[in-house]
Structures are given as structure tokens and as C-alpha cells.
Chains A and B, each alone.
Chain A
Amino acid sequence: MNDLMRENSGVPLLSMRGVKKYFDISPPFLNRVLERKPIQHLRAVDGLDLDIPRGTTFSLVGESGCGKSTVAKLVVGLYRATEGSISFEGVDVTGMPAGKPLALRQRMQMIFQDPYASLNPRWRVRDIIAEPLRSFGLRRSRSEELNEVGRLLDLVGLNAQDGEKYPHEFSGGQRQRISIARAIASNPDFLVCDEPTSALDVSVQAQILNLMKELQEELGLTYLFISHDLAVVNFMSEWIGVMYLGRIVEVGLARYVFAGPQHPYTQLLLETIPDITMQKRDREPVAGEVPNPINPPSGCTFHPRCPHADERCRSELPILAAGASGIMVACHAVHEGRLSVYSAG
């Protein structure tokens, strides 16, 4: 899809083409018939293409309702795609439920956002971490299993003795470490990280992000990193995809996108992040809010909030095409040359 990406590696580790996920939120059958209400769909993901090269971190960024969490769940099979295809290492996994096929899913795992709900409160930590080992048949004996659990706990910065404890005895940051230990237990190549630090305090977030970077190097992991926090994404990823209402509007190398964002929405996001360096303290923020995903605007879904919208934007959906610096953008104004393009760097 992207020349820059193809240059970097052979077959991308994960590929998605034309993926759509529509949720049926129609009123119940009887209501529809009696009150003549239409069938309604929530278009959480509406045509997504992406490639993730091996060994890198690809971040999906966007505000609430953009569909990034849905993408995470589609990749691992927790949701089934309405349309489109997903392939892992060239193997088609579209329509495969979570956990199947066993050999393949062993190589992709997930870390979740909520450190309190991602560990079963009634299980001991060692059982939580051993579960993938048992389920994928990775360790024969009990002592091998315990050794492995101890090694994993150590790897994430906890103690082997912590295996005896229950989740409620740990803080949020420690629980995320346990989640990470569980996720890497099956020796995966690919980790989907769904806002793993959004629920953590900033100093704890720093510990977890550092840990994730170390593990990536040590274990050769590839990350799909979902976040709403652009600064975290800037720190963690090589590639970034910006999502808005179920579509990717801009995708490319993170350092180029941050230096010279092309899509008006990306520019908006970068403008509105509270800035620690306090350079833009009294700027005027752009008006408008993310529209309801049940009834998205026509044409380019961003047009109601876009200062550059014209007639074509209101009626025709833009497609992702190459912009400057190898970045792909879905914007009529950019491709028509109406926007002054930032130069990267």
C-alpha cells in the first residue's frame, strides 16, 4: 500500500484491506414493524486499509468514537469483520474467532486498557500468567510452568513470589505489568495494545512505556498501539495512522506526520493538545465536536468542522492517496493543492 513501508520489509506482519465493522443497533423487530422504524447500523469501522511492518510500532490515534478500539478487537478476532480481509503473516485470518487457529493466535496477543478488569480477581497471579502456557500446550510439567511464570514476572519488573498473590494486592501499574507478562507468555510476535496506559498516572505510564520499549527490543515484538494521546504515540511509534469516524485519514511515518501534518483533522489534533512547553497558551480552539457515528455527515465526514471544506467535500468521500513525504492522506483539499503543505523536518 505504501511504498515507504514496502521498502522497509517484505511481507508486512499484519495487513488489513477494506475492513468494515457495522453494528446492528436497530430497534427490536416488533418495534420496527409496528412503528416503521428503519434498520440502523453503527459504522464503527468503515473501510480500513493498513499494513504493519515487522518489528515496528504502528499507532492508531483518534478521539472517542473513531473506531480504533474496534480495530484492535477485529485484529485479534474478538469481533468479526462485516467486510474486508485481515491477514497475519500472509495467512488470511478474517472471520477466525479469537483463539483460533491456536497456532496462529499464539503469535498475537493483546494488552487492555483497564488494569482492574483485565485480571480475574479470583485467580492467583501465577495462574493468570500460566493460562496461556497451559492453553497453548507450552509447558509440560508444573515445575516448568512455575519457572516460566517466575521468569516472566522478573522480565516485567516484578518478583517471582508475586505469583502467589491476588490481583487486588497490586497497584494499577503493577497490574499492567502482570497483563504484559501474560501477553508475552506464549512468546508472541505481535501485540495489540489497546490504550494500555490511559488509565495510569503519568509517572507510572512512563515506567510501563519504557518497559514496553525494552521488551520490544529484547523480544523483537511488533506493536499495534491504540491511543488517544499523541504525545505517547510520538514516543512509542514509528508509524502512525490517524482515524476519524471509522476511517484512516492520514497515515505515515510518525516523525513526518508530527513535523508536517497534512490532513486538517490531524492539524486540529496537534493544535489542541495541551502543550507543556506553553508556546500557544492563548490560541483560539477550533469549534465543533465529533459527530454521532450513527448518522455521519455525507461525503468527507470531517467537512462540518473543516475550514477548507467545499462542495466536493460535502458530497464525495476522499480516498487515501499519497501526499508529501510519503504520507498517505484522505483529503480533497490536499490532493487538489488547496492546502499549503508543510514541509517535513
Chain B
Amino acid sequence: MNISKLFSVRTMADVWDSDLVYSFKKSRVTVIAAIVTLMIIAASLTAPWIAPHDPFDVATLSLMDSELPPFWVDGGDPRFLLGTDNQGRDVFSVILYGSRISLAVGFISVVLAMAFGICFGLLSGYFGGVIDAVFMRIADIMLSFPTILVALLVSGIVRGVLPREMHENAALVVLVFAIAVTTWVQYARTVRGSTMVERNREYVMAARLVGRNPFAIIFRHIFPNVLGPVLVIATINLAMAILIEATLSFLGVGMPPTNPSLGTLIRVGNEFLFSGVWWVVIFPSLTLVMLVLAVNLLGDWLRDALNPKLR
């Protein structure tokens, strides 16, 4: 599905000229939010190349460099821009790698939840009847599980099943799965509602009249028309997913310190706070806040821009 089908525009010039882009350009807050998000994404993607140090290469670490403050503070070292932790790891580099994990978990879980939720919602909304009743009861059940508990549960099961060496590798998968499993319901609900509306529209009747089978109608006709609200939810959910991951990691059931995400860094850094080593927890926290705020603002703009009533 190319972009022109999604937004009914003929050429890239039309995209640039469209109402969506216009409202984007007009809102300075949104533009700044977009720039911040893009910067963090870019930085984390290029982490292996732009990070001044590799915080996971034990050979390069030296205890002599441990607990150095950021470079602008007395005692700081310009080699370690934002200081180091108790093992001599450069905080700036660690944040770059950590953001990577946070973003990866966020994106993948959102994409998974979206795919599953959209399919569920489309089938439920189109066929109605028993299928709808069953699917919706499943959804209701899922909604009653809080994400944290599900993550703990899944994590516990995985740890019990897998041998010790594999625990750390499995952490990412467990996280993504736990978040996806508890957030897909939102998409399913919204898509189901929109599908039920679109199903009765005349263009769907026309498609039935030329003998198209239900799945062709669902995925080629209805799906493009229910996508709008889903994108809004996805953007806002991205911020939420990142936060949930951070929370889980902070609680100790997320990413391990050997492959930390921003949440893990905050947990680890928290332990040093009272000994006066503030930079190990503050900088990852700030990064997390900036990222989540930026993504949320983007989601707000998208929701208002796609809302036909506000135009």
C-alpha cells in the first residue's frame, strides 16, 4: 500500500500542499517535537558509530575513570561528556545505546499490537454475530490484565522454562510480547467501531455486488478507511510503550544491566543518587522525558489534524 492510496494524494507535491502538512508546518510546537524525536531516533540508530566509547567493551573500561562528573563540573573529563558510572562507563554512550533499546521495544510492540488489533477489529466488525461476540469477550478479558502483572507473569514463566544463560537474551522478546499483549485491545475496539460503520456504506455494497469475497472487501476497501484513528492511537501508544518498558526495567523485570534500556539505566543510577553521583540517573531520565513528551505532542497534533470536525 503506497502513501498515495493512504492519503488520497496524487503526487508528492500534493502531499506537501495538503491540509495535513499545512497544519504541521503551522504548529511550532509540533515541528520542534518532531525534530526532537527524529534526533533521538537518529542518534540511537547511529549509536555504534557516533558513541564516543563502547560501554560494553570491558577491555576499554577502566576503574580509574569511574564516577567522573559531567565535563562542565569540577573534576570532569572532556572525554566523558556526561560523566561516568561506577564502572567507568561513559554515560552519554550508554544513553545512546539505551535509547536504542527503548525505541526498539516501543516500536516493535506497537507494530505487533497494531497488526493483531487491526485484524481482530476488522474481522469482528465485519462479520459480527458469533465471531464478534467471542472476539470481544476475549478483548474484555485482556483488558482486565494490567501490563505490569502480565509482564511479571510472562517473565516468570520464561525464566522458569529457559536455562539461566538465555534469560538476558529473552528479555527483549518478553518485554515486547507483554506490552503488545496488553495494548492490542485499543486498536481492536476502535477498528471494530469504524468497520461497523464502513460496512454499511454504499461502496462496500457495490463491492459485494460485483462478487468480491469478504476478505478482499475487508482488506482492500475497509482497511484503508479505518486507518486514520489507528495511527493516532499508535503514536500515543508509542510513548506509553516506552514508559511501560522503562517501568518494567526499573522494577527489575525488563532489560538487564548488561543490555540496558533507559529504564534500566535509571534503576542502576538511582542507587548512586544518595552518594552524590547524580549524573548517572538524571541524564537518562531527562532523555526519557524528552522522548516521551515529544512523541506525545506528535500524537496530539496528529489526532487534531486528522479530526474532520476541527477543520
Residues of A within 8 A of B (CB): 73, 76-78, 97-100, 102, 105, 109-110, 112-114, 117-123, 128, 131-132, 135-136, 164-166, 168, 179, 182, 186
Which residues of the other chain, A, contact B205 by a CB distance below 8 angstroms? 73, 78, 98, 110, 112
Which residues of the other chain, A, contact B211 by a CB distance below 8 angstroms? 98-100, 102, 105, 135-136
Which residues of the other chain, B, contact A168 by a CB distance below 8 angstroms? 8
Q: A165 to B221, alpha carbons, bound, how many Å?
A: 17
Given A122-B224, A166-B10: A135 in contact with B203 (beta carbons within 8 A): no
Q: A300 to B207, alpha carbons, bound, how many Å?
A: 39
- CB of A110 within 8 A of CB of B206, answer yes
Closest residue of chain A to B216 (Cβ to Cβ) is A135
With an 8 A cutoff between CB atoms, is B137 at the interface? no
What's the least CB distance linking A186 to chain B, in Å?
A: 7
Which residues of the other chain, B, contact A131 by a CB distance below 8 angstroms? 207, 210, 212
Which residues of the other chain, A, contact B206 by a CB distance below 8 angstroms? 110, 112, 118, 179, 182
Residues of B within 8 A of A (CB): 5-6, 8, 10, 201-203, 205-212, 221, 224-225
Closest residue of chain A to B4 (Cβ to Cβ) is A124
Could you name 18 residue pairs across A and B whose Cβ atoms are closer than 8 Å?
A: A78-B208, A99-B208, A99-B212, A102-B211, A109-B210, A117-B201, A118-B206, A120-B221, A120-B224, A122-B5, A122-B8, A122-B224, A128-B203, A131-B207, A135-B212, A165-B10, A166-B8, A168-B8
- CB of B8 within 8 A of CB of A121, answer yes
Closest residue of chain A to B207 (Cβ to Cβ) is A131
Contacts A78-B209, A122-B8 aside, 18 further interface pairs with beta carbons under 8 A come to: A76-B209, A77-B209, A78-B208, A97-B208, A99-B209, A99-B210, A100-B211, A105-B211, A110-B205, A110-B209, A112-B206, A118-B202, A118-B206, A120-B203, A121-B8, A123-B5, A135-B210, A135-B211
Closest residue of chain A to B10 (Cβ to Cβ) is A164
Which residues of the other chain, A, contact B225 by a CB distance below 8 angstroms? 120-122
Q: A76 to B210, alpha carbons, bound, how many Å?
A: 10
- CB of A186 within 8 A of CB of B210, answer yes
Closest residue of chain B to A185 (Cβ to Cβ) is B210
Q: A291 to B207, alpha carbons, bound, how many Å?
A: 34
What's the least CB distance linking A223 to chain B, in Å?
A: 16
What's the least CB distance linking B59 to chain A, in Å?
A: 55
- CB of A98 within 8 A of CB of B201, answer no
What's the least CB distance linking A110 to chain B, in Å?
A: 6
Q: A61 to B8, alpha carbons, bound, how many Å?
A: 38
Which residues of the other chain, B, contact A102 by a CB distance below 8 angstroms? 211
Q: A89 to B225, alpha carbons, bound, how many Å?
A: 37
The answer, among B5, B202, B212, for a CB contact under 8 Å with A114, is: B202
Q: A234 to B10, alpha carbons, bound, how many Å?
A: 42
Which 3 A-B residue pairs are closest in the complex by CB-CB distance?
A: A99-B211, A118-B202, A122-B224
Which residues of the other chain, B, contact A164 by a CB distance below 8 angstroms? 10
- CB of A105 within 8 A of CB of B209, answer yes
Given A117-B201, A117-B202: A122 in contact with B6 (beta carbons within 8 A): yes
Which residues of the other chain, A, contact B5 by a CB distance below 8 angstroms? 122-123
* Residue of A76, A110, A117, A119 with most chain B CB atoms under a 10 A cut-off: A117
Q: A156 to B208, alpha carbons, bound, how many Å?
A: 23
Q: A109 to B6, alpha carbons, bound, how many Å?
A: 28
Closest residue of chain B to A133 (Cβ to Cβ) is B210
What's the least CB distance linking B122 to chain A, in Å?
A: 15
* Residue of B5, B202, B209, B212 with most chain A CB atoms under a 10 A cut-off: B209
What's the least CB distance linking A97 to chain B, in Å?
A: 8
Q: A113 to B205, alpha carbons, bound, how many Å?
A: 12
What's the least CB distance linking B18 to chain A, in Å?
A: 12
What's the least CB distance linking B302 to chain A, in Å?
A: 18
Closest residue of chain A to B209 (Cβ to Cβ) is A98
